[in-house]
A and B are shown apart, each in its own frame.
Chain A
């Protein structure tokens, strides 16, 4: 295992910038997740690390060596593909042995390592099967074993869980994460699923439109989003358009005067986390913001309930409450009070 340095990577297709100036250092044994909506450049970045796409400019250094111009087969990077990309005409053992054969290991070593790796992903005894005889989850583990068997400098995961059903996905997340820790694998994963990213990563890289918007831990991204995009993409936010009157004071276009954190005078947007807002029958004076409103829409989600509250003709707020026995759960049309501390609303200047 080794470190990976991505330095000012750019990929242009004609006038289109798929990746703009992306830099990232991944430490030895670190699990970094590239998170973003589809088309944000995260997969292009990963494929440049793997060597399938030649960057327009920038460098990729792996284990100390510059691999920017090396073909994929000369980089020691193990990749798990979204479709798994198992070789359909080879058995599970032959799939896992492929990379070792390419490295010209002696037959006996190959056999031993194939067996070890299959045992690692709990597929001992499946070596003789063909990929199509396995379930989706098992195929995914073969793909992982195949990438691990070559003892790569870096493990690259391209949406590895997107073809699994929801329940299995949750199990495999934990499994991959544990395996990664146990083996001390330097890992880069690409996903558009924020929950997946949050559960697996040591560090997250949020990307949009080809650029990195913010790099940080789960807590950094959630508590201190760098911009409006991150505030909306990691966790949820209600956005209120308006003007920053002074640092800490925001006036919405609907005329509400709100306490908030950050910002400098000028146009801006206030992002409020729905789970930080309290909803009560009568006014709660203990909070920085306390406003009357009317319940307009309720969606019942099981563990939580989302309540949409109308505060002014142009301001509507989402409040998320836990579904507790005897908790306050107003119906549509009911007048209520909502309140939140200034710290729950962050301002971004536009």
Chain B
């Protein structure tokens, strides 16, 4: 009898847990579901119920040059910032994990800081910094492509550092010693043994860094120049005047793109294992 009760209790608990998890998941997914749904509405002013469905808003994207330009700029900035972020973030993570030195912990925190600082604050700070540099060096800085890339690099680095640090913790140090024992110098050991072991972290860090850069709005607002706007800013500007489903269509394209990148990456590196 008590056994039956125990089983019922356990089942009830499991149902409660699953229920709570489903609610949380739904809460996260609802906005996405609505955006995707909206993208296919026929009428110009979003209202419920839909009057019918159409693909014309997707075609509308192509008619608007600024969307394509915004997409191209965001993509270029994202790729460049990610590459530079990797070149700086991977060695930084190695230093923080592997070496004992003064200010090690403060450095580790500093590298992760851009994740915590609000985008507006970061953007303002960079704006002021760029103005000062422009004055000091007497050259164009503010609003240039390279200034934008530099800014985005700052928000890519924390992702690379975080994920590479996590995967470094799982590397058996004695495998590196074994390689050295077998005749590999420090450099060869890194390329042949350490790098393959942390590759999942590097790929995941690059991916998350790119996605963060690609979707960044607040900081970018301070860094873009005339005729040079990233996709999120184009969307924002468009929304100031119109609220037709074009924006929803753009979002759908963006979601599909990122989802595709993630799925492809997941085939080579199990993201669930590093994140």
Residues of A within 8 A of B (CB): 50-52, 71-73, 77-79, 81-83, 85-89, 98-99, 102-103, 146-147, 150
Which of the listed residues B174, B182, B185 has the most CB atoms from chain A within 10 Å of its own CB? B182
- Tell yes or no: B172 within 8 A of A by CB: yes
Q: Is the CB of B181 within 8 A of A72?
A: yes
Which of chain A's residues has its CB closest to B180's CB?
A72
Q: Chain B: interface secondary structure?
A: helix
A102 close to B182 (CB less than 8 A) = yes
Given contact pairs A87-B193, A89-B196, A102-B188, A50 touches B181 in the complex (Cβ within 8 A): yes
Residues of chain A within 8 A of B133, CB atoms compared: none
Residues of the A chain whose Cβ atoms lie less than 8 Å from the Cβ of B83: none
How does the 8 Å CB contact mask read for B178-210 relative to A, with 1 for contact and 0 for none? 111111110010001100110000000000000
B140: Cβ under 8 A from any A Cβ: no
Do A150 and B182 touch across chains, with their CB atoms under 8 A apart? yes
Please tell me if the beta carbons of A85 and B182 are within 8 angstroms of each other in the complex: no
- With A51-B181, A87-B178 already in contact, 10 other A-B pairs whose C-beta atoms are closer than 8 Å: A72-B177, A73-B182, A73-B183, A81-B174, A82-B174, A83-B172, A87-B179, A89-B197, A98-B179, A99-B183
Whether A87 and B175, one on each chain, are in contact in the complex, defined by CB atoms closer than 8 angstroms, is yes
Residue from A77, A78, A85, A98 in contact with B172 in the complex, judged by beta carbons closer than 8 Å = A85
Instruction: Name the B residues within 8 Å of A51 (CB-CB).
Output: 180-181
CB distance A85 to B174 under 8 Å? yes
- The answer to whether B183 and A150 have CB atoms under 8 Å apart is yes
Q: Taking the nearest CB of chain B, how far is it from the CB of A132, in angstroms? A: 12
Complex interface bits, B147-191 against A, C-beta within 8 A gives 1, otherwise 0: 000000000000000000000000010110111111111001000
Asked if B183 contacts A102 (CB within 8 A), the reply is yes
A153 to chain B, nearest CB (A): 12
Contact assessment for B182 and A98 in the assembled complex, using a CB-CB cutoff below 8 Å = yes
| Cβ A88 vs Cβ B181 within 8 A | no
The CA-CA distance from A51 to B178 in the complex, in Å, is 11
Residues of B contacting A85 with CB < 8 Å? 172, 174-175, 177-178
CA A73 – CA B197 in complex, angstroms? 20
Offer 10 A-B interface pairs, CB within 8 angstroms, sorted by A: A50-B181, A52-B180, A72-B180, A73-B180, A73-B183, A81-B178, A85-B172, A85-B175, A102-B183, A146-B178
> A79 with B183: in contact, given A85-B174, A85-B175, A89-B197 (CB under 8 Å)?
no
A137 to chain B: closest CB distance in Å? 18
Distance, CA A322 to CA B185, complexed state (A) = 55
Q: Which residue of B lies closest to A97 (CB)?
A: B182
Expressed in whole angstroms, the Cα–Cα distance for A83 and B188 within the complex equals 22
Beta-carbon nearest neighbor of A158 in chain B = B174
Q: Which A residues touch B185, using CB under 8 A?
A: 71, 73
Task: List residues of chain B with CB within 8 A of the CB of A77.
Answer: 181
With a 10 A CB-CB cut-off, give which of A73, A86, A147, A150 has the most chain B CB atoms: A73
CB distance from A65 to the nearest CB of B (A): 16
| C-alpha gap A79/B192 in the complex (Å) | 19
Partner of A102, one of B172, B184, B196: B184
Select from chain B the residue with minimum beta-carbon distance to A83: B174
Q: Report chain B residues within 8 Å CB of A83.
A: 172, 174
- Cα A98 to Cα B179 in complex, Å, equals 8
A52 B183 Cβ-Cβ under 8 A: no
A50 to B182, CA, bound (A): 10
Asked if A78 and B183 sit within 8 Å, CB to CB, the answer is no
Q: Are A81 and B177 in contact (CB-based, < 8 A)?
A: yes
B182 — which chain A residues lie within 8 A by C-beta? Answer: 73, 78, 98-99, 102, 146, 150
Question: Which of A51, A89, A150 has most B Cβ within 10 Å?
Answer: A89
